[in-house]
Amino acid sequence: MSAIALHRTEDRVSLVRPAIDGTRRWRSLIVASALIFPVVFYLMLLGVLMVQYGHLPNYLTPYNWIANALHIIGSTRSIADMAPIILDEWLIETGYINYDYGHGVAEWSMSIVPHRLAIVALAGALVGLNVALLLDQPMTGTFSRQVMQMGRFGLLTGAGALCASVTNATVFSVVHCATPSWVGSLAVLGFDSYSVFALEPYGPLICAFGFAALALSAILLARDSRAAAKPSTLRHQTEAASC
């Protein structure tokens, strides 16, 4: 192996090592973030719905997702058809039903879908990893550099968590949307109907952007840790050489 290739390999290893060390030291924080982040996100979304429409939820319906998935597997021949049907199965649904119209009409509802819940939990784990890497940062450099690092962390982590989570919310509003989708949450936040339906096809792309922002934030924090560790390494090497 040439010296250049060896140097590049060492750089990659030294960049990954801070993330691995941070994951080991702060694994409890990362796991807790993966578990708590979805709970906080759905509770905040539910709170926004209640404030927006002025009604507390008056029903909560749990679904036997495992039994429904097994039924779909047993009754659907095509695997290509089976997968999307299972992915659309709900785990929990809550909302507000207005009983002024016969048997009642759901004015708004929020459902939790297992695979979307898992994606939000993964976003939470990446947020926890970023926090762990930030906590592992040595207090070196100028004050302005530290402020810039904190600002970059806040921007990338905040934007990434928002994009990855909002695009996996499933909200229904009788005013804006005919079927539950992630853009229902945008309607609740005040987006007009034209913008909502224009953004709907770009949900997967926005979600991918969110995860890319979270990954980029972790990479930059790991790079900062490597850069901060280099001066001490060089100092130790110089002291050993002088002896």
Q: Is residue 79 domain-resident? A: no
Q: Is residue 222 domain-resident? A: yes
Q: Is residue 80 domain-resident? A: no
| CB atoms closer than 10 angstroms to residue 161 | 23
Q: Is residue 86 domain-resident? A: no
Q: Has residue 100 got a pLDDT over 80? A: yes
Closest-CA residue to 61 (of 117, 106, 100, 118):
106
Give, in order, the Cα–Cα distances in Å from 77 to each of 54, 67, 71, 88, 138.
Answer: 45, 17, 12, 17, 57
How many domains does one find in the chain? Answer: 1
Domain that residue 187 falls in: 3-63+91-235
- Quick: pLDDT tens for 132-145: 888 877 766 677 77
- Quick: pLDDT tens for 56-77: 999 999 999 999 999 999 888 8
- Quick: pLDDT tens for 15-40: 566 667 666 777 899 999 999 999 99
Closest-CA residue to 19 (of 8, 30, 5):
30
- What is the rounded CA–CA span in Å between residue 157 and residue 147? 15
Q: Is residue 217 domain-resident? A: yes
- Give, for 57, the enclosing helix (H) or strand (E): none
Q: Is residue 84 domain-resident? A: no
